Amino acid sequence: MAGLSLVLLAALSTDWKVDPAGGADFTSIAAALAAPEVQDGDRLWIAPGDYGQVFVEKSVDLLALPGQRYHASYVRLRDLGPAAGAAGTTTVQGLTTTTLRIERCAGRIELVDVEVGIDGVLPHDPILPMVSGSCEIFNAADVRISGSLLRGSRQCYPEASSPEPALLAERSRIAISGSTLEGGNDLGVEYWWSCSPHYPSPPAIRAADCELWLSAVELRGGVTNWPGSSFALYLNGGTLDARGSGAELWSSGQAATAAIAGNGSGTLSGIALAPAGLPAWLTSPSPARPLLAAPAVADLGGSAAVELYAPLGAPALLAISPHAAFDTAALPRLGPVGFDLGQPYLLHPALGLGETVPSTRSFTLPADPGLAGFSFTLQALVQMCAPGVCSPAPEYDLTPLLTALVH
């Protein structure tokens, strides 16, 4: 019965096209969301255009047409729950916006290839670059951000509002992979000839009582002309699990201020800090914890490569878990099928080649148009020792979850 319900969910979802130029089902995102025929679990395929303010209170995917992007000045997702749509997942992909706000969402929210932060200039000084950008997440159960760029505001007071962090979050669980977040820049108080020092700039992430999973990310603390600098990450309570070979977290000064500040608990490994040094509440295990890297968007009929960073010789098991709308007929085409806790997944064995050298696994998605717009989750279970040197009860570790969208 469970398998049948998944097939029915896939069959009942509907694709709609939005194009302001006409010739589609709707000419605006707002009109599509307001239409009674657009139901939870449906997908909006959105043509390029400027769609103004968008308020999402249905579990409806907002997806750019392949190879395209769309713009909205303000996007809010609110009160989206697990009972809505297929598995309660809402995906936003290909969006460029000034402000993105997620609040009171019990279902999963996926942000794929999203850009927050719009360039601008002062009216009387076109060579002084400004950025307007803010992403806020409050009371959200499961937010996954992949392949995205989030920038906080770069402002000169009082010409514009005070600068914002790239991400402001409270009481939420957030997983970020393969993305860059840049803290807002406070250029200072505006005079007719320049911006003088004002306040230290905000961090890339400011979070309170959150569970943060970061893999293969770069966090850049806001740059300021104020003497001193800002953090890359400020956590007030909650937990942090950050991993990623080659990724960086750095403060704006890269000398005077630590990259991470606040309080909480957690681990960080494989990520370079500038300046170096961990707060007392964070640990840095050795060997580095395992990491997966994968593209945020996978093409139908194309090949997707997944990279695993794990200790040399460590056996691993890569699990690829399809979205609920991948029906049972599609699963065998993706590879061997396993089963865990009522959810289908695909198992691929792997072997760690080192903490900085990836073991690569490629697989091909079926060229089935019915899978377009769905996503799948990747995670690996790694035995943290090589065969022959393991204890009788070897330690295992899980990589952070990744989400990839099928386009």
DSSP, res 334:
H
**Separation in Å, CA 355 to CA 17, 97, 218:** 44, 36, 18
DSSP, res 353:
-
**Other residues' Cβ atoms within 10 Å of the Cβ of residue 120:** 16
Selected residue with higher pLDDT from 2 and 230: 230
Same domain, 375 and 316: yes
Q: How confident is the model at residue 137 (pLDDT cuts 50, 70, 90)?
A: very high
Distance CA 115, CA 367 (A): 28
Mean pLDDT value across the chain: 80
Q: Among 32-36, 49-53, 138-142, 347-351, which stretch is predicted with the lowest mean pLDDT?
A: 347-351
Which pLDDT score is estimated for 85? 39
Whether omega before 287 lies within 30 degrees of 0, making that bond cis, reads yes
Which pLDDT score is estimated for 202? 80
Counting every residue, how long is the chain? 407
Which pLDDT score is estimated for 125? 57
Selected residue with higher pLDDT from 206 and 11: 206
Same domain, 129 and 203: yes
3-state class (DSSP) for residue 6:
helix
Q: What is the pLDDT of residues 285-323, one digit of tens each?
A: 888 889 888 889 888 888 888 899 988 888 888 887 654
Which pLDDT score is estimated for 333? 42
Beta bridge partners of 15: 43
Q: How confident is the model at residue 3 (pLDDT cuts 50, 70, 90)?
A: very low
Of the residues 243, 260, 285, the one at which a domain ends: 285
Whether residue 337 has pLDDT greater than 60: no
Q: What is the CATH number of the domain that holds 305?
A: 2.60.40
Which pLDDT score is estimated for 69? 95
Write out the residue range of the structural domain in which residue 93 sits.
13-285
HSE-CB for 339 with a 13 A CA cutoff: 4
Distance CA 17, CA 26 (A): 7
Same domain, 72 and 200: yes
Average pLDDT of 134-149? 94
Whether residue 128 has pLDDT greater than 70: no
Q: What is the pLDDT of residues 199-243, one digit of tens each?
A: 667 888 999 999 999 988 988 887 665 555 578 899 999 999 988
How many domains are contained in the chain? 2
Same domain, 329 and 379: yes
Average pLDDT of 180-208? 71
In a domain? residue 7: no
In a domain? residue 213: yes
Same domain, 217 and 236: yes
Same domain, 360 and 281: no
In a domain? residue 8: no
In a domain? residue 5: no
Q: What is the pLDDT of residues 239-258, one digit of tens each?
A: 999 887 667 777 665 456 78
* Residue 358, both tokens: 């990836």
Tell me the pairing of strands 149-151 and 115-116.
Answer: parallel
Q: Among 47-51, 149-153, 244-248, which stretch is predicted with the lowest mean pLDDT?
A: 244-248
- Strand segments, DSSP code E, in 233-274 are 233-243, 248-250, 260-269, 272-274
Selected residue with higher pLDDT from 161 and 33: 33
Give me the phi and psi of 53, to 5 degrees please: -95, 135
Same domain, 339 and 267: no
DSSP, res 33:
H
Same domain, 259 and 166: yes
Q: What share of the chain is helix, strand, coil (3-state, %, to 5)?
A: 5, 50, 45
Whether residue 374 has pLDDT greater than 60: yes
Same domain, 238 and 329: no
pTM of the model: 0.87
Which pLDDT score is estimated for 340? 43
Same domain, 268 and 353: no
Whether residue 11 has pLDDT greater than 50: no
Whether residue 188 has pLDDT greater than 60: no
Side chain identity at residue 153, one-letter code = S
Which pLDDT score is estimated for 344? 59
In a domain? residue 2: no
- Which one, of 170, 172, 176, 252, lies nearest residue 214 by Cα? 176
User: 106: alpha, beta or left, given left = phi > 0 and alpha = psi -120 to 50?
Assistant: alpha
Of the residues 285, 314, 338, the one at which a domain ends: 285
Selected residue with higher pLDDT from 143 and 340: 143
Q: Which of 86-90, 158-162, 279-283, 403-407 has the highest mean pLDDT?
A: 279-283
Of the residues 285, 318, 345, the one at which a domain ends: 285
